[in-house]
Amino acid sequence: MSKILNVDQLGKTYSSGSKKLTVLDAISFEIEEGDTFAIVGPSGSGKTTLLGLCAGLDEPDSGYVELCGTRISELSEDQRALLRNRKVGFIFQDFQLLPTLTALENVSVPLELQGVKEAGKQAMELLRKVGLADRSHHYPSQLSGGEQQRVALARAFSNRPSILFADEPTGNLDEETGEKVVRLLFELNKEAGTTLVIVTHDLDLAKRTQHILRLKGGKIATNESTVIS
């Protein structure tokens, strides 16, 4: 198997007045194609910052990221956006659905932007997989939090991404609803053969992945493989 993500000596520092805050310090790790990978750590440890750098949403101050065989720092912003559109899926804690679009439209828009024929049909099939075919014409405001996150799941897999980044995907959900979303996430991921990277404070969720990277104070505390039951 080949590496889909290679992070080498990654560093990120923010300025606050005259002070500098090092959020990430010399972070290095690799992820193989098809792996499931969790990034955990206490609040303020740099988890979300690291995810953004890995996805090319931000630029590091030192080190580099290779995503899908391409060093992100060598790309223009337009080229990075194109790489994300073609290769990357996202799931966020706050869902980030477009409020003026229906569930079906939220899922079909990425497909339409890629020029996919029968985008609506494919989007409806994805909604069926997450159990929301009967809610396809509802707007986000008419859906519960769990339903919105399931729409976001369908949207994330719509472009058949090579790698999916999930930032606290159950953070705004109750335990029962979160469990349903997690089960769907892993089912869809296994079916698609996607590489999954999850940022989470939920250790039970992290233990469902094959590898756990623990951050503490912007540094790697441990990087371990887990036993999948």
Q: Could you tell me where the DSSP H helices lie in the chain?
A: 47-54, 77-87, 103-113, 119-129, 145-156, 175-192, 203-206
Count CB neighbours of 222 within 10 A.
10
Distance of CA 117 to the CA centre of its chain: 26
pLDDT digits (tens, 9 = 90+) for 58-113: 999 999 999 999 999 999 999 998 899 889 999 998 999 999 999 999 999 988 88
Report whether pLDDT(227) > 70.
no
Q: Do residues 41 and 221 touch, judged by C-beta distance below 8 A?
A: yes
Across 108-117, 157-166, 188-197, 202-211, least confident range: 108-117
Give the separation between CA 55 and CA 177, rounded to whole angstroms.
27
d(CA 67, CA 3): 9
- Give SS3 for 7: strand
Q: Residue 173 sits in which domain range?
A: 3-225
For the stretch 174-200, pLDDT in tens is 999 999 999 999 999 999 999 999 999
Our count of domains for the chain comes to 1
Closest CA to 181 of 168, 162, 165: 168
Instruction: Find the mean pLDDT for residues 123-136.
Output: 95
Residue 2 has a pLDDT of 87
- Per-residue pLDDT, 18: 84
Q: How confident is the model at residue 208 (pLDDT cuts 50, 70, 90)?
A: very high
Distance CA 157, CA 189 (A): 8
Q: Which residues contact 176 (CB under 8 A, 6 or more apart)?
A: none
145 versus 44: the higher-pLDDT residue is: 145
What pLDDT is recorded for position 229? 42
Write down the pLDDT at residue 74.
92
The CATH number of residue 177's host domain is 3.40.50.300
